[in-house]
Chain A
Amino acid sequence: MRDRNLILGGLVVFLAVITFPVWYNLAAGSTAKPPELKLPTTEKACVASTAYMRTSHMDLLINWRDEVVREDNRIYKAPDGKSYNKSLTQTCMKCHNSKADFCDRCHDYAGVKPYCWDCHIDPKLVQRSAG
Chain B
Amino acid sequence: MSIDRRTFLGTAGLTALAVAGPAALARLASGSQAGAAGATRWAMVIDLRKCLKDQGCTDCMAACDKAHNVPQIPTRAHEVKWIWKEPFEGAFPGQTTPYTEEVFKGQPVLVLCNHCDNPPCVRVCPTKATWKRPDGITMMDWHRCIGCKYCIVACPYGARSFNFFDPRKYIKALNPDFPTRSLGVVEKCNFCEERLAVGKLPACVEACREKALVFGNLQDPKSEVRELVRTRFTIRRKPELGTDPRIYYLV
Contacts and interface: CB of A to CB of B under 8 A. Distances in A.
A72 B133 contact: yes
A119 B174 contact: no
A89, A119, A120, A125, most chain B CB atoms within 10 A: A119
B180 A119 contact: yes
Nearest to B173: A130
Interface string B160-185: 00000000000001111101111000
A6 interface: no
B234 to A, nearest CB: 28
Interface residues of B, number: 18
A13 B80 CA distance: 59
A98 to B, nearest CB: 14
Contacts of A126: 174-176
B227 interface: no
Contact of B193 (A72, A129, A130): A72
Contact of B197 (A72, A90, A122, A123): A72
B228 to A, nearest CB: 26
A129 B141 CA distance: 28
A70 interface: yes
Contact of B180 (A74, A121, A123): A121
A89 B176 contact: yes
A119 B176 contact: no
B88 interface: no
Contacts of A74: 197
Interface in B207-239: none
Contacts of A105: none
A45 B122 CA distance: 41
A65 B182 contact: no
A130 B176 CA distance: 12
A69 interface: yes
A36 interface: no
A3 interface: no
Interface of B: 69, 131, 133, 139, 141-143, 173-177, 179-182, 193, 197
Given A65-B143, A121-B180, 20 more contacts: A69-B139, A69-B141, A69-B143, A70-B139, A70-B141, A72-B197, A89-B177, A89-B179, A90-B177, A115-B182, A119-B142, A119-B179, A119-B181, A120-B179, A121-B69, A121-B175, A121-B176, A126-B175, A129-B174, A130-B173
19 contacts: A65-B143, A69-B141, A69-B143, A70-B139, A70-B141, A72-B193, A89-B179, A119-B142, A119-B180, A119-B181, A119-B182, A121-B176, A121-B179, A121-B180, A125-B174, A125-B176, A126-B175, A126-B176, A130-B173
| 10 A-B pairs closest in CB distance | A119-B179, A118-B182, A121-B176, A126-B176, A123-B176, A120-B179, A69-B141, A126-B174, A119-B180, A119-B182
